């Protein structure tokens, strides 16, 4: 699923793996075991605002679902896109 959005796959951990990932005493073998693909069936993909592309934006808007046609129009209004639809 991630390949349709980006050419790199982020590491996504299950909540029960957080402690092992952060523990400096976790063995290299145990860390390697955490490096597994996250199940695509557990993920959801949807369009979001272009605001997500700006590191200064740390708001809920960055993860809220938007309608594609409405998103472009509102982003032009907010100055997030130029008139050619580019960020």
H/E stretch holding 20: helix 18-22
Instruction: Give yes or no: residues 50 and 78 share one domain.
Output: yes
Domain count within the chain: 2
Instruction: Give yes or no: residues 37 and 53 share one domain.
Output: no
C-alpha angle 60/67/7, rounded to 5°?
75
Instruction: Give yes or no: residues 57 and 32 share one domain.
Output: no
CA distance 8 to 14: 19
Instruction: Give yes or no: residues 31 and 52 share one domain.
Output: no
18-70 pLDDT per residue, tens? 999 999 999 999 999 999 888 888 888 888 888 888 888 888 988 888 887 65
The position carrying tokens 């955490």 is: 34
Instruction: Give yes or no: residues 14 and 38 share one domain.
Output: yes
What is the value of pTM for the model shown?
0.55
Instruction: Give yes or no: residues 34 and 50 share one domain.
Output: no
**Residue 83's pLDDT band (boundaries 50, 70, 90)?**
very low
> Can you give the pLDDT at residue 82?
47
Question: For residue 68, what are the domain limits?
Answer: 46-87
């Amino acid at each position: 699923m991630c390949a349709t959005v980006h050419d790199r796959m982020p590491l996504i951990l299950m909540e029960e793996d957080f402690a092992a990932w952060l523990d400096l005493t976790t063995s290299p073998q145990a860390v390697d075991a955490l490096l597994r693909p996250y199940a695509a069936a557990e993920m959801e993909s949807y369009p979001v605002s272009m605001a997500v592309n700006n590191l200064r934006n740390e708001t809920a808007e960055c993860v809220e679902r938007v309608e594609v046609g409405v998103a472009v129009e509102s982003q032009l209004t907010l100055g997030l896109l130029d008139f050619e639809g580019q960020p």
